[in-house]
């Protein structure tokens, strides 16, 4: 039997954002936009969903006179990401 795939992470862009954040300590909006190639509006919507789920934390501040928003993956987000990867492996029969 296949394992459950978390629908929140099964979205291509949300999975991409989580993949970026799990590999760095933090990332700002511009970095995520450049790495994903997605539009600013789409990224904002997907980040809001991940934040509401408690998978990422959002910190708004300033870099000089410019606003800067930084994102970090939470412990809950790391756990959800690891569970998702394990579930994908069960589809590929890697663990069996």
Q: Domain-by-domain residue ranges, the chain?
A: 12-91
Average pLDDT over residues 31-53: 97
Q: Which residue has the higher pLDDT, 88 or 55?
A: 55
Fold of 12-91: Arc Repressor Mutant, subunit A (1.10.10)
pTM for the model? 0.89
Nearest to 21 by CA among 70, 84, 85, 63: 70
Q: What is the percentage of the chain residues whose pLDDT exceeds 70?
A: 97
Distances in Å between the alpha carbon of 75 and those of 21, 34, 68, 72? 12, 25, 23, 10
Contact 15, 9 (CB under 8 A): yes
- Residue 96: its pLDDT value, please? 52
């Amino acid at each position: 039997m296949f394992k459950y795939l978390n629908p929140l992470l099964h979205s291509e862009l949300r999975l991409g954002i989580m993949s970026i954040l799990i590999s760095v300590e933090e990332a700002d909006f511009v970095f995520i936009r450049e790495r994903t190639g997605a539009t600013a509006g789409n990224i904002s919507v997907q980040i809001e969903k991940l934040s509401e789920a408690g998978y990422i934390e959002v910190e708004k501040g300033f870099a000089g006179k410019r606003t800067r928003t930084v994102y970090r993956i939470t412990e809950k987000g790391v756990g959800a990401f690891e569970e998702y990867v394990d579930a994908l492996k069960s589809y590929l029969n890697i663990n069996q």
